[in-house]
């Protein structure tokens, strides 16, 4: 990674939008607020840096250490099952294995060497379990100021100035790591400090999904310091709306139904604000207030498992708003349903395997065999063996879902989340809202 480092003093003032783009000519600034100049080692810079410090708690299910995270991908042995964690979302696989049985003793072992990332993004290679235990035991001495309860929404930018208060460059940042290095360079005092300003507005995102726009250095510092590390602080959001999953019976087994989005909202008695509610198909649109859904009482879902983003805005101050998520779920209308436990027992029955008799009505895969094991999946594709992973889950409404991953080549289209729409003694039917698979059981 290569980024430019500057020794910087921050100046607070608003920069017109026309100045935010990189440009060849020098643009002169006629007015500045001299009293707002921040010197190195200022509390403002420290507050910002605490927000972008590497959060080692995100993967505690693997290393049980807040002071560092494990560089991905990494291979781990979980309850004697080898899996590869490629992204943070894959950590759910570990939890699923842990939750498989209530009476077993869970264990996790790394395939060494591994690389850990400290709070300041320094990488350290760990050769064995003994070294890992030593680093974990020393966590209290490694942790620096860290704010886990609020984040920047990127990109954000700084304008760099010469001594005549003319913009010479605008620098953009897209993630915590590069911004941390930039802020770290600010904290070092030299005789060649460069003037700079953070370009506002800046959007901050709380852990509960609520969002606030800030417009000055002081306002940003106050927001960061007020939240501290109390991620459950009720004052972070408007506290006016709770959301719940909307579940409907899929009458035609086609993956589509008409939803009233307001069925997923519940107004709280504690709400003291006048609010404006709108619905969106993407988080980005919700945050910017673009492309709201208009047919809110008769909305047809786009996919089998869909998230609708709800913008709950303070009617008296549009910069204060929450972004909430409503899950749209379709349930099977078939009476031949089974629970997650019943489905797992059926798939794991030995010595049996499953054949995809039809995929969207075609028999292209009927000679293939799917052998479901504890968390793993072996597919015999006419002599070619493919290996994948699978898990199952059951929603509060009873809907059972199978998740398949890591299958490659011509059977990659079996990957994804599949709703169980039929569950009979020797047959299961799955749907992802677009494709439908009918599996039949064969026992030796």
Q: 293-336: per-residue pLDDT in tens?
A: 999 999 999 877 788 999 988 888 877 888 888 888 877 666 55
Residue 40: what pLDDT? Answer: 67
Residue 25: what pLDDT? Answer: 46
Least Cα distance to 114 among 69, 52, 164, 162 occurs for: 69
Least Cα distance to 344 among 112, 100, 73, 20 occurs for: 100
Contact (CB, 8 A) for 215 and 38: no
Q: Which residue matches tokens 């904290």?
A: 187
Q: How large is the average pLDDT for residues 137-164?
A: 80
Give CA separation, 311 vs 220, 238, 284, in Å: 22, 11, 11
Peptide bond into 73 cis (omega under 30): yes
In 10 A of CB 415, how many CB atoms? 17
The percent of residues above 90 in pLDDT, for the chain, comes to 30
Residue 190: what pLDDT? Answer: 55
Contact (CB, 8 A) for 116 and 71: yes
Contacts of 418 (CB under 8 A, 6+ apart): 401, 402, 403, 404, 430, 431, 432, 437
Q: Is-above-0.85 flag for pTM?
A: no
Distance CA(281)–CA(163), nearest Å, equals: 47
* Confidence category of residue 229, pLDDT binned at 50, 70, 90: low
Per-residue pLDDT for 26 more than 50?
Answer: no
Give the strand pairing for 436-443 and 299-300.
unpaired
Distance CA(67)–CA(137), nearest Å, equals: 10
Residue 332: what pLDDT? Answer: 65
Contact (CB, 8 A) for 43 and 221: yes
pLDDT tens for 203-217 read 888 877 777 888 888
pLDDT tens for 349-405 read 888 999 999 998 888 898 999 999 999 999 998 888 999 999 998 876 677 889 999
Q: What residues does CATH 2.40.128.280 cover in the chain?
A: 340-443
pLDDT tens for 112-121 read 999 999 988 9
What counts of helices (H) and strands (E) characterise the chain?
A: 9, 30
Mean predicted lDDT score pLDDT of the chain: 81
Is domain 340-443 given the CATH code 2.40.128.280 in the classification? yes
Residue 18: what pLDDT? Answer: 35
Contact (CB, 8 A) for 322 and 241: yes
Q: How large is the average pLDDT for residues 259-271?
A: 85
Is domain 238-331 given the CATH code 2.60.40 in the classification? yes
The percent of residues above 70 in pLDDT, for the chain, comes to 82
Residue 55: what pLDDT? Answer: 86
Per-residue pLDDT for 170 more than 50?
Answer: yes
Bridge partners for 424 per DSSP: 427
Residue 335: what pLDDT? Answer: 57
Joined tokens for residue 12: 């607070």
Contact (CB, 8 A) for 190 and 5: no
Q: What residues does CATH 2.60.40 cover in the chain?
A: 238-331
pLDDT tens for 273-290 read 788 999 999 988 998 889
């Amino acid at each position: 990674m290569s980024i430019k480092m500057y020794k910087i003093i921050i100046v607070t003032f608003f920069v017109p939008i026309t100045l935010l783009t990189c440009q060849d000519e020098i643009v002169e600034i006629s007015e500045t607020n001299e009293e707002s100049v921040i010197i190195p080692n200022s509390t403002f810079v420290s507050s910002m840096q605490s927000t972008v410090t590497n959060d080692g708690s995100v993967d505690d299910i693997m290393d049980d250490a807040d002071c560092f995270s494990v560089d991905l991908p990494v291979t781990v042995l979980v309850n004697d099952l080898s899996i590869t964690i490629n992204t943070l979302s894959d950590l759910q696989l570990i939890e699923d294995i842990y939750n498989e049985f209530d009476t077993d003793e869970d264990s996790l072992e790394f395939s060494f060497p591994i690389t850990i990332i400290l709070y300041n993004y320094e990488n350290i290679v760990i050769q064995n379990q003994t070294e890992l235990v030593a680093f974990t035991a020393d966590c209290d001495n490694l942790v620096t100021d860290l704010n886990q309860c609020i984040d920047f929404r990127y990109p954000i930018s700084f304008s760099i100035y010469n001594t005549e208060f003319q913009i010479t460059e605008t620098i953009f940042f897209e993630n915590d790591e590069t911004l941390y290095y930039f802020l770290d360079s600010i904290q070092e005092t030299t005789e060649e400090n460069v003037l700079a300003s953070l370009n506002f507005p800046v959007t901050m995102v709380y852990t509960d999904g609520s969002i606030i726009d800030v417009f000055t250095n002081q306002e940003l510092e106050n927001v960061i310091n007020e939240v501290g590390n109390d991620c459950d602080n009720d004052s972070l959001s408007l506290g006016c709306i709770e959301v719940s999953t909307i579940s409907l019976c899929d009458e035609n087994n086609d993956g589509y139904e008409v939803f009233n989005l307001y069925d997923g909202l519940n107004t709280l008695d504690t709400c003291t604000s006048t609010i404006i509610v709108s619905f969106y198909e993407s988080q980005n649109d919700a945050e910017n207030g673009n492309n709201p859904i208009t047919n809110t009482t008769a909305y047809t879902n786009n996919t089998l498992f869909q998230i609708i983003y709800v913008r709950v805005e303070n009617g008296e101050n549009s910069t204060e708003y929450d972004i909430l998520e409503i899950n749209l779920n379709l349930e099977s209308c078939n009476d031949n349903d089974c629970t997650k436990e019943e489905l797992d027992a059926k798939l794991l029955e030995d010595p049996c395997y499953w054949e995809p008799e039809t995929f969207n009505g075609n028999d292209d895969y009927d000679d293939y065999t799917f052998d479901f094991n504890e968390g793993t999946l072996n597919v015999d594709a006419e002599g070619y063996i493919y290996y994948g992973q699978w898990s199952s889950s059951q929603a509060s409404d009873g809907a059972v879902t199978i998740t398949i991953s890591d299958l490659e080549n011509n059977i990659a289209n079996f990957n994804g989340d599949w709703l169980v729409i039929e569950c009979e003694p020797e047959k299961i039917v799955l749907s992802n809202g677009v494709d439908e698979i009918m599996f039949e059981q064969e026992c030796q």
